[in-house]
Amino acid sequence: MRSEEKVPIISDENIVTARQRGRALAAQLGFSSTDLVLITTAISELARNILLYAKRGEIVLESISDNGRQGIIVVAQDDGPGIANVDKAMEPGYSTSGNLGLGLPGVRRLMDDVKVLSRLGEGTTVTATKWKR
């Protein structure tokens, strides 16, 4: 079973919508209350990065099932400037915006699997997966 929902990210209000929809989907899948917090926090970080660096993009929320396991995939996509050094961007404390640098490293700590694909001048796609325990 796989379902998908897209939330355009062009303003702070869209971050709230993405969080609410992600939380609802994760709750429907039976994630614990602790995991619901982790998932919604990851969605917030990814959506904020879209606004901060690309100005617009989208969050795609998907439920997945694999060999009887249930999970959620959060995909953050944008057509922004891209990330010059993905490995560096995944280091805690590294920031090109003057912020705390917790975004991508934080998402990696909150979720079970995180993949970042980025091309300079073309955009970034971050795919984060959380499996129900």
Domain parsing of the chain, residue ranges = 3-131
- pLDDT for residue 119 is more than 90: yes
Average pLDDT over residues 65-70: 91
Rounded average pLDDT over 88-117: 80
72 neighbors 61 (Cβ within 8 angstroms):
yes
Q: Quick check: 126 pLDDT over 90?
A: yes
Q: Cα separation of 22 and 83, whole Å?
A: 25
Q: pLDDT by residue (tens digit) across 82-102?
A: 998 898 888 877 666 555 446
Q: In CATH, which of 3.30.565.10, 1.10.3080.10, 3.30.2130.30, 3.30.460.80 is domain 3-131?
A: 3.30.565.10
What pTM was estimated for this model as a whole? 0.92
What integer is the mean pLDDT of 31-55?
95
By the 10 Å C-beta count (0-12 exposed, 13-18 middle, 19+ buried), 133 is classed as exposed
Structural element, H or E, at residue 21: helix 12-28
Q: Give 85 or 17, the one with higher predicted confidence.
A: 17
